[in-house]
């Protein structure tokens, strides 16, 4: 996102505590764009730090991406998730209020649809919400918090973007996802198998009621996701209170279709074994993208092969992520 904003001429002010990210990514953003993010390392729960950043910069709008996002970890350490994801959002909102910055784009997730009924696909934004795990509950609670602060006559202009399954990388291959520890998500894990960092992929469940028996998800290229944020930022002035918009492709792909696409990208077969279902997985999830198209004039353009080709380029150039030798 920083690359695209800097390339568009915007000043970008960033805060991150590097909990699941790496300072090397900022150096690479500067190498690509020739411009620097005005960056402060720190925790969003540190109100003094936020005040300092708001005072030092003319901030017109905030994109709030920060948050822990591993479903399994959230089940093991729910309090950690509530303290971090809710605490950081509350402190950020208080600081925004104090500094009279009321424009916000929030990274929400299709996880707020809970365990949706397969008969209700594709998912529209008015699908009843629910939470299947503590991580999902933090996203849902933040959405509710934002709805409360933006209710009635209020200065807030908020877009909650509900991401489906983001994958891919910057087309240069020098910026991508570098999960700490063993990846929980399908594409990062599959790519680590492709680069022989892990021996094989476990496919969680082959007996779902889907054409090939594996779960179906709506994978979306991060570059399309970034374009969605740019459109949301441009439209924020027209928002009255708060709106939620799905960012997905509207196309469902099975786990085995992803494995095949990853194999095509890497030019090798990806070894896998079908194992038991992972508890809590919904069989089928994909987006209705009508609102994104009508409201933002946005639609995803890049298909699964494109996502895997870009993700593979990143993985191949950086087999050990940002901690390895320079890309």
Q: Residues 6 or more apart from 298 whose CB is under 8 A from it?
A: 227, 228, 231, 247, 292
Query: Distance between the two ends of the chain, CA-based, in angstroms?
Result: 19
- Is 255 a binder of ligand UD1 (CB under 6 A)? yes
Residue 252 is a binding residue for ligand UD1 (CB under 6 A): no
Q: Is 197 in the site for ligand UD1 (CB under 6 A)?
A: no
Report whether 320 contacts 274 (CB < 8 A): no
Distance CA 64, CA 105 (A): 6
Of 310, 218, 221, 304, the C-alpha closest to 259 is 304
- Member of 111, 138, 174, 210 binding ligand UD1 (CB under 6 A): 111
Task: Name the one range near ligand UD1 by CB under 6 A: 58-66, 78-86, 192-200, 201-209.
Answer: 201-209
Task: Compare residues 173 and 188 and give the one whose CB is closer to ligand UD1.
Answer: 188
According to DSSP, the β-strands at 253-254 and 216-217 are antiparallel
Tokens matching residue 57: 């910069």
How far apart (Å, rounded) are the C-alpha atoms in residues 209 and 284?
9
Tokens describing residue 293 = 């198209």
Secondary element (H or E) of residue 310? helix 304-317
- What is the C-alpha separation between 237 and 4, in angstroms, rounded? 20
Q: How many residues interact with ligand UD1 (rule CB under 6 A)?
A: 23
> Does the protein bind ligand UD1 through residue 69 (CB under 6 A)?
yes
* Cis bond before residue 192 (omega within 30° of 0): no
- Determine, following the binding rule CB under 6 A, whether residue 68 of this chain makes contact with ligand UD1: no
To ligand UD1, the closest distance from the beta carbon of 224 in angstroms equals 15
Q: Which of 135, 163, 189, 322 is catalytic?
A: 135
Residue 185 found at the interface with ligand UD1 (CB under 6 A): yes
Among 48-56, 98-106, 181-189, 241-249, the segment contacting ligand UD1 (CB under 6 A): 181-189
- In the bound state with ligand UD1, the residue whose beta carbon lies nearer, of 197 and 202, is 202
Residue 300, CA atoms < 13 Å, CB-side half-sphere: 29
Does 189 bind ligand UD1 (CB under 6 A)? Our answer is yes
Taking CB under 6 A as the rule, does residue 136 contact ligand UD1? yes
> Quick check: is 135 catalytic?
yes
Is residue 134 part of the contact set for ligand UD1 (CB under 6 A)?
Answer: no
92 part of the interface to ligand UD1, by CB under 6 A: no
Calculate ∠ Cα 1-107-224, nearest 5°: 45
Q: How many residues does the chain have?
A: 327
**165 touching ligand UD1, by CB under 6 A:** yes
Establish how many alpha carbons lie within 13 A of residue 82's alpha carbon, considering only the half-sphere containing its beta carbon.
Answer: 9
Q: How far is CA 203 from CA 194, 270, 309, in A?
A: 15, 11, 21
| x/- track of binding to ligand UD1 for residues 259-288 (CB under 6 A) | -------------------x--x-------
In the bound state with ligand UD1, the residue whose beta carbon lies nearer, of 95 and 285, is: 285
Q: Which is nearer to ligand UD1, 60 or 144 (CB)?
A: 144
Which residue in the set 67, 116, 122, 132 belongs to the binding site for ligand UD1 (CB under 6 A)? Answer: 132
Considering only 8-16, 88-96, 202-210, 292-300, which stretch makes contact with ligand UD1 by CB under 6 A? Answer: 202-210
- Which stretches of the chain bind ligand UD1, using CB under 6 A? 69, 71, 109, 111, 132-133, 135-136, 163, 165, 184-186, 189, 201-204, 215, 217, 255, 278, 281
Could you give the residue numbers annotated as active site?
135
């Amino acid at each position: 996102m920083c690359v695209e904003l800097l390339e568009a001429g915007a000043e970008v002010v960033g805060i991150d505590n590097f909990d699941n990210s790496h300072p090397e990514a900022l150096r690479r953003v500067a190498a690509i764009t020739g411009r620097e993010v005005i960056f402060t390392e720190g925790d969003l729960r540190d109100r003094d730090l936020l005040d300092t950043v708001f005072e030092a910069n003319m901030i017109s709008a905030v994109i709030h991406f920060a948050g822990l996002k591993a479903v399994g970890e959230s089940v093991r350490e729910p309090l950690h998730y509530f303290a971090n994801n809710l605490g950081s959002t509350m402190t950020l909102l208080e600081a925004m209020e104090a500094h009279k910055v009321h424009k916000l784009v929030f990274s929400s997730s299709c996880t707020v649809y809970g365990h949706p009924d397969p008969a209700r696909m594709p998912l529209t934004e008015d699908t009843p919400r629910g939470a299947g795990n503590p991580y999902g509950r933090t996203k849902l609670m933040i959405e509710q918090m934002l709805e409360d602060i933006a209710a009635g006559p209020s200065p807030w202009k908020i877009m909650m973007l509900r991401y489906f399954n983001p994958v891919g990388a910057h087309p240069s291959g020098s910026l991508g996802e570098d999960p700490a520890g063993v990846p929980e998500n399908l594409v990062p894990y599959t790519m680590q198998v492709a680069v022989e960092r892990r021996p094989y992929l476990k496919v969680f469940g082959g007996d779902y009621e889907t054409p090939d028996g594996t779960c179906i998800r709506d994978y979306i290229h991060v570059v399309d996701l970034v374009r969605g944020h740019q459109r949301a930022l441009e439209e924020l002035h027209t928002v009255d209170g708060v709106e939620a918009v799905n960012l997905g492709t509207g196309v469902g792909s099975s786990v085995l279709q992803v494995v095949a696409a990853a194999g095509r990208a890497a030019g090798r077969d990806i070894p896998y074994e079908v194992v038991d279902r992972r508890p809590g997985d919904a069989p089928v999830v994909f987006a209705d993208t009508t609102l994104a198209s009508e409201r933002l004039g946005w639609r995803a353009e890049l298909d699964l092969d494109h996502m895997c080709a870009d993700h593979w380029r990143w993985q191949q150039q950086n087999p050990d992520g940002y901690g390895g030798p320079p890309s």
